[in-house]
Structure 1
Amino acid sequence: MERNKEMGKRVEAKLKLTAKLLELFEKEKARSPGNRAVVFWYDEDGEGRDLEEIRPTLEEQGIRVWELTQLNAFRTKYKVEVEEQETSFLLYAPFVKPPDHKNLLLDIFLYSTEFKTDEIALLAEELGLDATLARPFLQRYRVFFREKQRKEKFRRFLPLQGDERDWKAAVFAVLTQAKSTEPTDLVRSVLERGLDEEKNQALTQIRKFAHADDFYDWLYAHFGLVGTDSPTLREVFATLVQCHAVTCTPELEKHFPSFHTRMPNTCYVFLEDWLREESGRTLLRPLLKQLEAEWGLGERLRQLPPDQVADCRTFQVADTILIEYLNEMLLHHGVTGRKLHEIIDKRLNTPWAREPRIRSVYQFFTHALAMVLFSEEERRDHHRMTVRDWLKAYSEHDYKVDQIYRKMMWIYRQAGMPEVLKEISDWLTQWYEDEFLHKWGAYTDGLMSEKLTAQWPVEGVLQQSRFFRDRIAPLVNRSPKRIFVILSDALRFEAGAELSDKLGRRLNAEVSLEPMQAALPSCTQLGMAALLPGEVTDIDDQGTVFVEGIPAKGMKNREKILQKAVPESAVFRLDDFIHLGKEKGLKAIKGKRVIYLYHNRIDATGDHQVTENYTFDDVHQAVEELTRVVGKLTGTFGAKRIFITADHGFLYQQTAVQADRLAERVAGSVIEQHRRYAIGRDLVVPPGVQRVSLDYLNLELEAAVPKGLNRFKSGGGMKFVHGGPMPQEAVVPVIQYREIHGQARKKEEQRIDVRVAMRSKVITHYRFNVLFFQEQKVSQDLRPRHLRVALYLEDDRISNEVNLVFDSEQEAPERHQEVSFTLIEGRYPVGEACMLRMEDVTGTKTELYGEEPFELRVYDI
């Protein structure tokens, strides 16, 4: 409606101009004997005027529109007085009328007439402005309005109710190509072109078609800067940066040059909002680095305590200093953990931590700190534990060290193995391999020599050879529902724990994790065979394992074994099945009760010397793949019950294996030998190796496994190994995933609740703190919540915006977050209510989570 009204006004203004011209021609024709008129129009502000807006109407009335230039006077004279003596002419000159003694067309001018009109009034009418109020503005900016396209853009930016300040903002928005007349967009559009006044194209356009002094007056006024005879973009930018830095880190104030503003909070919020955007950080990074160097910020920040440096959200040099500090603390000092965690958490919530490289470094330190805290714990006396304690200690606690170390090293690789993290990476690798794994090796060796070599299975623990009988068969007998079993080669327990946690976050999922003792040797042939129904009956001279007399090698043979127990069964490679798609996949499993799906991501990489360095990458990839696969099975193929387990785990050592950890190869009737095991009869076992009876599988065979972290001398890689009795190799996960349906099914994911934990909700200063409380612990049933929070007065945001993550698993006293907000300067009536608006940004959709009223009593604005 409004757009149509504006267009109507513009058309009306053009019609009036044309009507006045026609009226003048009629008068001139009436007094001319030959019914002919010649009209001069000297349009001194006419550069860029579009004559096509009036030409068609005039020519319909037989009036020729002829444009004068400084060089076509003779051609014009010949045209008017010789060629077309009877034609009426509008002689349009887009320049100032020359004095008579220089006017080459003076003779024609003397017998013709001149068209004069109030262009400003017409322009005001065309733009829909009050001519009386807008005349000074339009006169001052007449050059800007000469071009049709600029006028059109100006109209789009023009508010329905505005004043000269709004009109100037619209002019600046057009010339700077800003998205809107909002000061945020307009100032960004100028600063994006750089601080060099001469090279800044936005400023060039303002100087050419507007007035740079007006722009600077507008800019300085918006940010509260004191006017000056020589304003610069650099001064404005430096003031913005200073206000942001001092608001975050007040201790820096005395170190800055003296920039003054009446509106420091407006400056702070402007830069904070810009830093939160990726494009903003990209633009600001070199400009801020320049100021870092000019102001010597690095040395000044180094003089502050680390927790104050962590508050500095403005400069990336703060991250450089804190990374050095974290390195120093972890490498050379005992740590309590809490202080360093607070520093890391602060930095992870800064705008710069949204950069993948910076975020990776702090995530690395999160895991490194956890490793250091593990290393400083008083270690258990493993030698006093029973075999049940051995498995329980690992599956309930110590597996986390393997998991944290693996994630830390994966992040390190993903970050490009930066030199700044190398020393701590090397140190923690040494601790992990030489102390943690060594201690577990010594403990496992002790238990092996006392009991496990003679009788491997631990009583009361789920055994791999009983997996089908104890976990699958009861469900098959009890319910007709289909069961999917995913067997992921080398998915060790710690990776299974991560996968279980991810799956537990799915809506309507009931997930459990339990440890299972793998067959020994912990190798693929034996482990995959043990997971099938029936008994292992033989291992032939080629190392092929038989189950119920059928070789357990290959998909077809495994399907035969499975179908002996459950005729309505099927076996697939996981990738092959998923790639079938919905229609073919459903057809392939129609009528099937049990489906075994084989997945080989980790072992396929780790078992080859060329690729074993990428083992941790593939563990990460395997967890991601299996998470997606579960979603595919439940969503596309209607799976309600899924088991995920493995044939074995693995040991991984980053550093080269020393010669004293390489055992001689086993002699005797060896059927099969690899880096961590050998199988055969009458084995001759060298030093550093233990003999293991396979009686527990009813096989008249024995195995030999190296002690501790030893390997057999053999070709191939030595970093990734399995086959031995270490819990990393021989304790595997069993994940049970059940899709909840019926009345228990949830319609949406349940997340923890958050509230403002303050009795007094009165704002009395520009800077104020708000205390938030996370009401429940995060668990598999209650997931974290991400909120975006800011203060609003009606629909106008009047404070900085903060993103908060509520994901604590701690007790109630530890689930508070105190957050600082900065109020933008303004005149707020005392007692006026505003709202602390909390928006849920956890998922892909942003939704209003809640609002808390606050009373404004800011007396010092």
Structure 2
Amino acid sequence: MPELNLKQITDKLNAEFTGGTRKLVFWYDEKAEFVDDVNTLKLTNAKVYHLEPDNQFYTKYFMERTDRTTNYLIYAPFPKPPVRDNHLADTIKYSKEFFADRASLLTLDLGIDEKYKPVIQKYIKFFGAKDRTQRFYDLEIENFTRDTIEIALMSALCKTRTASFEEVVRVVLTDDGMENNKILADFEKYDLLQAFWRLCEEQFGYTDVNPTLEKLVVTLFVTYTERYMDAELPKSWKSFASYKSGNIIAFLDNLMNSMLYRDRYNELSEYVAAGLNAAVALEAFGTESLLRCDTFALIDRMIINWIMERLLAEDTGAKLNGMTIQLICQERSKMHFGEIYKMQYQLLEHAYYLIMEGSYNCPDDLTGLVNQYRESDYLIDTHYRYFYYCFDKLKDTVAFERLRDLIENIYTHEYLSKITTKWNAAFIQEEAMTVLPLQRNFYSRYIRNRKERVVVIISDAMRYETGLTLWGRLQDDEKCTAKLEAMLSVLPSYTRLGMAALLPHRNLEMTDDYRILVDGATCEDLKQRESVLQGYNPNSRCIQFDDIKSMKRDAIRQVFAGMDIIYIYHNQIDARGDKPNSENEVFFACEEAVNEIHDLIKQLTDHVSATHYIVTADHGFIYKRDRLQESDKIANVSEKGSFVNRRFIVSEQALQGDGIGSVSMSRMLGNDDSKVVSFPISSNVFKVAGGGQNYVHGGSSPQEMIVPVLDIKTEKGHKDTRTVQITLVSMVQKISNLITTLDFIQNEPISDVVKGTSYKIFFITDENEKISNENIYVADKKDIEPQKRIFRLRFNFRNRQYDKSKRYYLVAYDEKNDVEVLRHDVLMDIAFANDFGFNV
């Protein structure tokens, strides 16, 4: 019993015991409601005497013979006996009786109108425990009615912090299962079950002669589906649809958007879908009618299957409700089940772009080839990379195998075969060496004349398109300014020669036994490379990325102290790709390389105030998922004593044969080397024993020979950034429909200083009660044109009576920090809300 009630009882009793005459007060506590509290009463002028059913004679003797001066509260935790059985009846005649029923005290203490005392009395059993009663008090109800009292009682049993029927239903649905629900069992125990189902009817329009939790959940999900389906419900579902759709939509939106309860929402969704046999029921409807609906995960599976069918038919122009496949993938990824099917949608989007290249064409000249590759063709390699990145993330790839086969066929035969053949037809021309800056001139072009300290990060096998991904990541970093260029690697495009070409040198040569020398010195390991570098600048160092990654700040500072040039060697991609048992992980390695280099740049900027970086690579690579067939291998071509690799052969004479091209080493190295490097003019390989077959490099192709050069400047310390804002475009002052659509605009495009975020947008009362569904909008548009940043949201309002004299508000909260960023007041003038007031 709350302390305030006990104080009332104490005060009342102490008032009885005032005065100079001796008094006896009998208190028959019929239901023993105060048996635990009576000894805690602080009586100032009386003692408590415990009456038992079998000690009445002794009590009479004690009160009238043994102690005739002390005031006593005679407490009996049982009903008052009938007169003929009550041996204290005559004593009671000249004494007083005290009455303190719990319902009266609670009503008085809480300020509940006397007319609602029967409601408290009806549920008096609930107040039999202190902890339950205290939880009821803690809810701090201001306006007591039958509904608010019953909702508060249920809320106390559910242990919610506020008295809210929605929270009650949420706890019922999320804290236990459909059958033998322990919360409903508590409701029944304390006579609240009938009230629960009545409120379900009032709030959600669910009514049933024999209500069950299962049918309530079905009603919620079916009603939600009806609102977002662009077609009529299946006939067998119609009986479950509720007329209180606004309340239901608001409730389920809140449940599915909650970080705490979205998993339970998904379980309930699967449960309902299975019970309704939704897969069969919705199959009869066109996918187009389900595009806005995200009640069930199976809808996403249906849309994914539709997209798959269109892509397998190479129907890239297919649309649903005017939305392209690309847009469908992007929009569905932002909806509720988008997180679960994120990889599938991204895979399909990348497949869409690749299938668009089914009729790929490229220029004949090398300048045109290079320009087109840098402007657009690199995207084909990027989409291919991310297609397999997503594909390999899937637990079950069986459904996507046919699409994978199509993608592999298009990439290999329609794209890679064409671009490599044309590249090599143009590459053997003399002017090829003037189209791009040469890798062998890297030091003189980018490093030699730098006046400030420069950190050179060489990522083994980071091809141009992966470098462009890194460039995009740096563009979003407010502390980075990055410029992307490209250069032409050496040929053969393999590590030892590429790494040597990136060092300062006067002479770069390949000996007759195929060792690589820089100014006559070998440079195969880290110390040898550092020796070459220090020969041109004594204040220089070479270090492995793996070593610096594990260093503490002070150790890194020691490495950089007094240095003008630091070469950092990063080997994530080539290390994975060159090993047969991990070559299919090369696209994961590309993503990890981008992350590691970006993190390294941020770390060095903070730890040693390094602000100038050059990121480049020794070579690129070609990767194809399908294992090479014998027809893809060029056999019986090597000569004794030649330097043989899958993608190149260096020998004294040019190799002859179909599908083979060659150039002189003197041309590639800028010396008088008489040797010749021969290479497949397509993406095929020379037949060589051992090693992997999916990942190759060393030959002549844009993927292997166009390498990125990123010139990066960073700023140490804080740079002001801001979160992108949204504004209401629709000029709305009054809401007159339970369903309302409003237009908003993302104020500016996302950039390095304007960061994207997600907003929760909904309507509330002046008391912060939510009255609409909750829309989640991901503000991530980079479009410059304002019109392309306008978005439309649909709001479903709770079906209830709204007060025209009060203000209501449209609000938006930043999901990342839960800060309110928008508040717009409106009048609610909905004529038909709450069913004309007749509750029909």
In the TM superposition, what is the alpha-carbon distance from 1:20 to its structure 2 partner? 7.0
Tell me what 2:607 maps to: 636
Structure 2 residue 170 is the aligned partner of structure 1 residue 204: no
Structure 2 residue 712 is the aligned partner of structure 1 residue 731: no
Matched residues in 2 for 1:134 and 1:703: separation?
Answer: 97
Q: Please identify, of 120-129 and 794-803, the stretch whose mean Cα deviation from structure 2 is larger.
A: 120-129
Matched residues in 1 for 2:560 and 2:9: separation?
Answer: 75
Q: Report matched runs for 1:654-673 at 5 Å.
A: 654-664=625-635, 667-668=638-639, 670=641, 672-673=643-644
Q: Which of 437, 440, 454 is residue 462 of structure 1 equivalent to?
A: 437
Tell me what 1:430 maps to: 409
Matched residues in 1 for 2:498 and 2:345: separation?
Answer: 39
Tell me what 1:341 maps to: 326
**CA distance 1:171–1:786, shift in 2 (3 Å):** closer
Tell me what 1:405 maps to: 384
| SS in structure 2 at match of 1:636 | helix
CA contact (8 A) 2:462 2:616 kept: yes
In the TM superposition, what is the alpha-carbon distance from 1:799 to its structure 2 partner? 2.1
| SS in structure 2 at match of 1:639 | coil
CA contact (8 A) 1:518 1:732 kept: yes
Tell me what 2:762 maps to: 790
Matched residues in 1 for 2:18 and 2:701: separation?
Answer: 104
CA contact (8 A) 2:39 2:48 kept: no
In the TM superposition, what is the alpha-carbon distance from 1:225 to its structure 2 partner? 4.5
Tell me what 1:767 maps to: 739
> What code does the residue aligned with 1:673 have?
V
**CA distance 1:551–1:790, shift in 2 (3 Å):** same
Q: Please identify, of 713-722 and 624-633, the stretch whose mean Cα deviation from structure 2 is larger.
A: 624-633
Tell me what 1:46 maps to: 32
Tell me what 2:304 maps to: 323
TM-score where L is the length of structure 1: 0.86
Matched residues in 1 for 2:704 and 2:181: separation?
Answer: 63
Q: Which of 603, 607, 617 is residue 588 of structure 2 equivalent to?
A: 617
In the TM superposition, what is the alpha-carbon distance from 1:435 to its structure 2 partner? 2.1
Matched residues in 2 for 1:514 and 1:611: separation?
Answer: 30
CA contact (8 A) 1:606 1:613 kept: yes
Q: Which of 286, 289, 296 is residue 308 of structure 1 equivalent to?
A: 289
Q: Which of 141, 144, 169 is residue 126 of structure 2 equivalent to?
A: 144
Count of aligned pairs: 816
Tell me what 2:139 maps to: 157
> What code does the residue aligned with 1:516 have?
M
> What code does the residue aligned with 2:414 have?
E
Tell me what 2:837 maps to: none
In the TM superposition, what is the alpha-carbon distance from 1:528 to its structure 2 partner? 0.9
Matched residues in 2 for 1:460 and 1:297: separation?
Answer: 60
Matched residues in 1 for 2:770 and 2:812: separation?
Answer: 12
**CA distance 1:159–1:419, shift in 2 (3 Å):** same
Matched residues in 2 for 1:118 and 1:829: separation?
Answer: 41
CA contact (8 A) 2:426 2:432 kept: no
> What code does the residue aligned with 2:627 have?
A
Tell me what 1:3 maps to: none
CA contact (8 A) 2:132 2:156 kept: yes
> What code does the residue aligned with 1:206 have?
F
Q: Which of 641, 644, 652 is residue 623 of structure 2 equivalent to?
A: 652
**For residues 141-181 of structure 1, what are the alpha-carbon distances to aligned partners after superposition, in whole Å with 9 as ceiling and x for unaligned?**
21111111111111101324433322222211111233421
CA contact (8 A) 2:642 2:650 kept: yes
**CA distance 1:219–1:459, shift in 2 (3 Å):** same
Tell me what 1:350 maps to: 335
Q: Which of 1, 10, 16 is residue 15 of structure 1 equivalent to?
A: 10
CA contact (8 A) 1:249 1:311 kept: yes
| SS in structure 1 at match of 2:720 | coil
* C-alpha RMSD over aligned residues: 3.5
Tell me what 2:838 maps to: none
In the TM superposition, what is the alpha-carbon distance from 1:521 to its structure 2 partner? 0.7
**For residues 590-627 of structure 1, what are the alpha-carbon distances to aligned partners after superposition, in whole Å with 9 as ceiling and x for unaligned?**
12111111111111111011111211111111112222
> What code does the residue aligned with 1:509 have?
C
Q: Which of 537, 561, 569 is residue 540 of structure 2 equivalent to?
A: 569
Structure 2 residue 260 is the aligned partner of structure 1 residue 289: no
CA contact (8 A) 1:45 1:143 kept: no
Q: Which of 357, 373, 391 is residue 374 of structure 1 equivalent to?
A: 357
Q: Report matched runs for 1:321-720 at 5 Å.
A: 321-336=302-317, 338-355=323-340, 358-375=341-358, 378-382=359-363, 385-448=364-427, 450-451=428-429, 458-474=433-449, 476=450, 479=451, 481-540=452-511, 543-664=514-635, 667-668=638-639, 670=641, 672-682=643-653, 688-696=659-667, 697=669, 698=671, 699-712=673-686, 713-720=688-695
Q: Please identify, of 234-243 and 411-420, the stretch whose mean Cα deviation from structure 2 is larger.
A: 234-243
| SS in structure 2 at match of 1:143 | helix
CA contact (8 A) 1:493 1:728 kept: yes
CA contact (8 A) 1:269 1:824 kept: yes
Matched residues in 1 for 2:39 and 2:799: separation?
Answer: 50
| SS in structure 2 at match of 1:733 | strand
Matched residues in 1 for 2:331 and 2:280: separation?
Answer: 21
Structure 2 residue 219 is the aligned partner of structure 1 residue 239: yes
In the TM superposition, what is the alpha-carbon distance from 1:832 to its structure 2 partner? 7.0
**CA distance 1:343–1:215, shift in 2 (3 Å):** same
Matched residues in 1 for 2:716 and 2:453: separation?
Answer: 15
Structure 2 residue 198 is the aligned partner of structure 1 residue 217: yes
In the TM superposition, what is the alpha-carbon distance from 1:15 to its structure 2 partner? 2.7
| SS in structure 1 at match of 2:392 | helix
Tell me what 1:34 maps to: none
Same amino acid, percent of matched pairs: 23
Matched residues in 2 for 1:707 and 1:432: separation?
Answer: 17
Matched residues in 2 for 1:275 and 1:207: separation?
Answer: 28
CA contact (8 A) 1:121 1:131 kept: no
**CA distance 1:237–1:417, shift in 2 (3 Å):** closer
Q: Please identify, of 528-537 and 456-465, the stretch whose mean Cα deviation from structure 2 is larger.
A: 456-465
**For residues 404-428 of structure 1, what are the alpha-carbon distances to aligned partners after superposition, in whole Å with 9 as ceiling and x for unaligned?**
1111111111122432222212221
| SS in structure 2 at match of 1:430 | helix
In the TM superposition, what is the alpha-carbon distance from 1:393 to its structure 2 partner? 1.8
Q: Please identify, of 291-300 and 605-614, the stretch whose mean Cα deviation from structure 2 is larger.
A: 291-300
**For residues 794-849 of structure 1, what are the alpha-carbon distances to aligned partners after superposition, in whole Å with 9 as ceiling and x for unaligned?**
444332222223414475554432222222234445597654333444xx434444
Tell me what 1:280 maps to: 261
Matched residues in 1 for 2:633 and 2:241: separation?
Answer: 71
Matched residues in 2 for 1:393 and 1:552: separation?
Answer: 35
Matched residues in 2 for 1:79 and 1:549: separation?
Answer: 119
Matched residues in 1 for 2:610 and 2:655: separation?
Answer: 50
> What code does the residue aligned with 1:43 have?
D
Matched residues in 1 for 2:438 and 2:733: separation?
Answer: 59
**For residues 64-94 of structure 1, what are the alpha-carbon distances to aligned partners after superposition, in whole Å with 9 as ceiling and x for unaligned?**
657x59xxx59x9999989xx9689977554
| SS in structure 1 at match of 2:626 | coil
**CA distance 1:214–1:517, shift in 2 (3 Å):** same
CA contact (8 A) 2:493 2:697 kept: yes
TM-score where L is the length of structure 2: 0.88
**For residues 106-158 of structure 1, what are the alpha-carbon distances to aligned partners after superposition, in whole Å with 9 as ceiling and x for unaligned?**
65787678954132366327843347344222211211111111111111013
CA contact (8 A) 1:518 1:731 kept: yes
> What code does the residue aligned with 1:424 have?
L
> What code does the residue aligned with 2:213 have?
L
Matched residues in 2 for 1:143 and 1:20: separation?
Answer: 29
Could you tell me which runs of 5 or more consecutive residues in structure 1 were left unpaired when the two chains were aligned: 1-5, 32-36
Q: Which of 224, 228, 237 is residue 248 of structure 1 equivalent to?
A: 228
